[in-house]
Amino acid sequence: QNKGGWGYGKDSWGYGKDSWGYGKGAWAYKGYDDFKGYGGKGKGKKGSRAPPLDSDFWTIKLDAENRGELGPQTYTGVIQNYNWNFGWGFIIPDNQEELPQQAKDKMRESMEAAAAEGKELTAKNVLYFRKPDVNHTEGFKLGKDVACTFCVYVDDKGAGAYDVSMPAGK
């Protein structure tokens, strides 16, 4: 006999085993009129995008990192990936040995720190860059395996690239 409510399951209101709700073993309102439950995207949650280039977000972030540019020397590389939603990516330098020693040391330190945290490294010896570090005025399109040129900086978190541009003649 049902002790807990109006349904068919043990101690329940609903139709599932040990449940309250409408589904097989349900503890929620599953399977009824395609109701997907609570949470997820809702009013005002249309997905996130990186702030626009002229946003104060980038200025505040830059000020907090203690960035030090390592000269005007330009290097070549390939974009490993770029995350459009958050406005950051990684560059694999064509020749890591050409980079300044300070940048190589920071890259090594950040790889060791990531490994110590248990993060899986998909690529070694990469430089971080953000949306405002890219030269957008040239019509440069970011994407995986796109060749680029860049300058190098170091900050509190490691080494990165700025003035990311299309290679000359492309």
**Model confidence pLDDT, tens digit, residues 31-50:** 445 545 555 555 555 556 77
Q: How far apart are CA 62 and CA 157, in angstroms?
A: 12
Instruction: Note the pLDDT of residue 73.
Output: 92
Share of the chain above pLDDT 90, in %: 24
Cβ neighbours of residue 66 closer than 8 Å, sequence gap 6 or more: 155, 156
User: Which H or E run contains 62?
Assistant: helix 56-64
Q: How far apart are CA 13 and CA 19, in angstroms?
A: 7
Find, among 74, 33, 39, 29, the residue nearest to 19 by Cα.
29
pTM, entire model:
0.67
Tally of CA atoms within 13 A in the half-sphere of 53 that contains its CB: 7
Segment 144-170, tens digit of pLDDT: 889 999 999 998 888 999 999 988 766
- Say if CB 34 and CB 120 are below 8 A apart: no
